[in-house]
Structure 1
């Protein structure tokens, strides 16, 4: 898994990097087929204080890219909410990929006849 953490108008400190990595462990525990993860942390100049800190993540898995973003007045709170959203999106993707397996029609006819 390739992990890229970058910041716009903000320096990504080792503590912030470690916080993101520990939160991402929860997501990778659910789904191990993650190819690439890009995290973008941004501080924007907006009049609304509650939307100033912003976190975005793009997770590339086999066959699909999952993009999630979250904004908050505190960057750590934005990362927490972002990881919650990402966890739900990854679980949903995993369920959709596993839901396609079903019993073939030939097997159903044989089992019904018995």
Structure 2
């Protein structure tokens, strides 16, 4: 998977790129194709702010994390994206379960 990683403040080292790619590899376990994933790294004060967006069929994932440690921010970002992807994957199941419940009309 090709992930666009950009930053105006720091250089993207191979270690940073590897950490981001490993977090996105965990997202691929869901067997849902991510469209044009992009990660932006910024530094505001002492904290690193990491933002990621990726397209899905009919939806867009977006997450943002902030921490003093860049690697901790990347891990937090990965957890947020995992939760969103899980919600996206389980949405059809929830809709089917809701549709299967009988509608009770009160008089």
Under a length normalisation based on structure 1, what TM-score does the superposition of the two structures give?
0.77
> How many Å separate the matches in 1 of 2:30 and 2:68?
29
How far does residue 35 in structure 1 lie from its aligned partner after superposition?
A: 1.6
Q: Which residue of 2 aligns with 1:38?
A: 38
Bigger radius of gyration: 1
Map 1:15-94 → 2, pairs under 5 A: 15-44=15-44, 46=45, 49=46, 52-94=47-89
1:17-60 deviations in whole A, cap 9, x for unaligned? 0111011110111242212201111112x3xx3xx111110010
Aligned residues: 100
Q: Structure 2: where are the runs of 5+ without partners? A: 101-107
Q: Deviations over 1:47-76 (max 9, x none)?
A: xx3xx1111100101111111000000000
Shift of 1:2: 4.1
Separation (CA, whole Å) in 2 of partners of 1:8 and 1:93: 31
2:11 partner SS: coil
User: RMSD of the TM alignment (CA)?
Assistant: 2.0
Q: Could you say what secondary structure the match of 2:18 adopts?
A: helix
Rounded Cα–Cα distance in structure 2 between residues aligned with 1:33 and 1:42: 26
Checking the alignment, whether the CA contact within 8 Å between 1:58 and 1:68 is kept in structure 2 is yes
